[in-house]
Structure 1
Amino acid sequence: MTMMKAGLFLAEKNVAMGELEKPITKNGEALVKVSFAGICGTDMMIYFGKHPRAKVPLAMGHEFSGVIENINGESEFSVGDRVVVEPTLSCGKCEACLAGQSHVCKNLKLIGIDKHGGFAEYTTVPLDRLHPIPDGLSDAHAALAEPVAVAVHAVRRSNLKVGDNVAILGGGPIGLLIGLMAKRAGADQIIVSDISPYRLDKAKKLGLFAIDAKEVNVTEEIKQRTNGVGADVVFEVAGTQITANQMIEISRIQGQIVVVSVYKQSPLIDIAAMHFKEISLTTTRCYSRGDFEKAIRLMATGMVEVAPFISHELPLEEIAKGFELMENPDVSLKVLFQPN
Structure 2
Amino acid sequence: MDEQLWTPVKVGDISLEHRLAMAPMTRDRATPEGVPTELNALYYAQRASMGLLITEGTQPSADGQGYLLTPGIHTEEQVAGWRRVTDAVHHAGGHVVIQLMHAGRIAHPANTPHGRQPVAPSAVRPAGVMFTFQGAQEMPEPRELSTEEVSATVEDFRAAAAKAIEAGADGVEIHGANGYLVHQFLASNTNRRTDRYGGSIANRIRFAVEVVEAVADEIGANRTGIRLSPGNPYNDIAEDDTRELYSALVRALAPVNPAYLHVVHGDDAELVRELRELWPTAFLLNRPGADIDTRVRDIDSGLADVVTVGVQALANPDLVERLRTGAPLNTPDPASFYGGDEHGYTDYPFLSR
Say which structure is richer in strand: 1
> Does the alignment reach a TM-score above 0.5?
no
Say which structure is richer in helix: 2
TM-score, structure 1 as length reference: 0.28
TM-score, structure 2 as length reference: 0.27
Structure of higher CA gyration radius: 1
